[in-house]
Amino acid sequence: MTSNQLMFVLFSLMIIVFSILTVTTRKILRAATYLLLVLVSTSGLYFMLNYQFMAAVQLSLYAGGIVVLIIFSILLTSHISQKFEPVEIKKSIFSALASIAGTILCILTILDYKFSATTEAAKEVDMKLIGRSLLSVNYDGYVLPFEVISILLLAAMIAAIVVAKKAGPSKTKTPTYN
Amino acid sequence: MTTGVPVQYFLVLATLMFFAGVYGFLTRRNLITMLMASELILNSVNINFMAFNRYLYPHKMEGMFFSLFIIAVAASEAAVAIAIIINIYRRFATINVEDVNEMKY
């Protein structure tokens, strides 16, 4: 077993074990921590695939940003020591059956298909190339999705502020806080 | 960097992660854990895109940019979802989806 395979097995075992723990653990803060570990090992896979920029984005945005946001909202909305009630047996069995059936179907299809790689030389994806492609209007440019995604991010930020803002005193109906 | 690891390994790994997320989405009844399950699903799709890009079309960058945009969409989705969750918690004092069954403002 080469070192590449060893690293891949390490990362994939971490991903599989911790993603299953994320969806089955009964303590909510532990679920968030397991999700963080899943995202960090995913960024390890991106490093293996030689996409350093995407690995950095994964680490800073997913593992740094989204997980911290989730943990903050957990602290705002739940008691840390609170445990979930166990899932109903029937629901759990049927969900597991659906997931396992889907997994088997997908894996059989993947193993059956013959992937044919192109013979063209691999492109070195460095920061300069990514920046040029994001802002290029040529055939291989991505300026339109870049603009769309920036508008979406702006709209989402404003929407988040507006939605989470406390209702003002001018509202006639008093909300019931407790 | 990936010699000796065929593309199918990555796809099988992403499949397992995807269906772990689906299982969580079906069984969880807490809004934040459901959000976490959907993050798992999005992340597994990202792995697929990156592996396809590196193994099958290494002279192009479509897969990388697609997963970059997916990450941006996931970030904005998480921000809006958490704002909504906090608002729901203010109004109902719970974030269990079974107890939140009216949209009246």
CA–CA min distance A85, chain B (Å): 10
In a domain, B98, yes or no: no
Closest of B81, B75, B98 to residue A73, by C-alpha: B81
Nearest to B28 among A23, A78, A160 (CB): A23
Comparison of pLDDT for B1 and B69, the residue scoring more: B69
For residue B82, give its domain range.
7-92
Residue of chain A whose alpha carbon sits nearest to that of B79: A160
Give the end-to-end CA distance of chain A in Å, rounded to a whole number. Answer: 58
Per-residue pLDDT at A127: 87
The count of structural domains within chain B is 1
Q: CA B22, CA B41: separation in Å to the nearest integer?
A: 7
Please give the average per-residue pLDDT across B90-97, as a whole number: 85
In a domain, B39, yes or no: yes
How far out from the chain centre does Cα A141 lie?
A: 25
CA–CA min distance A159, chain B (Å): 7
Q: What is the ipTM of this complex?
A: 0.92
What pTM, to 2 d.p., does this model score? 0.89
In a domain, B1, yes or no: no
Per-residue pLDDT at A178: 52
Q: CA B90, CA B105: separation in Å to the nearest integer?
A: 12
pLDDT in tens, chain A (178 residues): 788 899 999 999 999 999 999 999 988 899 999 999 999 999 999 999 889 999 999 999 988 899 999 999 999 888 777 788 888 899 899 999 999 999 999 999 999 998 887 777 777 888 888 888 888 888 888 999 999 999 999 999 999 999 888 766 655 555 555 5
φ, ψ at A52 (rounded to 5°): -65, -35
Per-residue pLDDT at A136: 87
Report which residue type is found at B65: F
**Which CATH number is B20's domain given?**
1.10.287.3510
Q: Is the pLDDT of residue B60 over 90?
A: no
pLDDT tens, position by position, B14-53: 999 999 999 999 998 889 999 999 999 999 999 999 999 9
Nearest to A122 among B12, B46, B58 (CB): B58
Report which residue type is found at A138: N
One-character DSSP codes across A77-101 = HS-TT-BPPPPPHHHHHHHHHHHHH
Chain A residues with beta carbon closer than 8 angstroms to that of B64: 51, 53-54, 125, 130
Residue of chain A whose alpha carbon sits nearest to that of B94: A77
Q: Is the pLDDT of residue B1 over 70?
A: no
Per-residue pLDDT at A83: 81
Per-residue pLDDT at A150: 93
Per-residue pLDDT at B43: 94
Q: CA B91, CA B105: separation in Å to the nearest integer?
A: 10
In a domain, B59, yes or no: yes
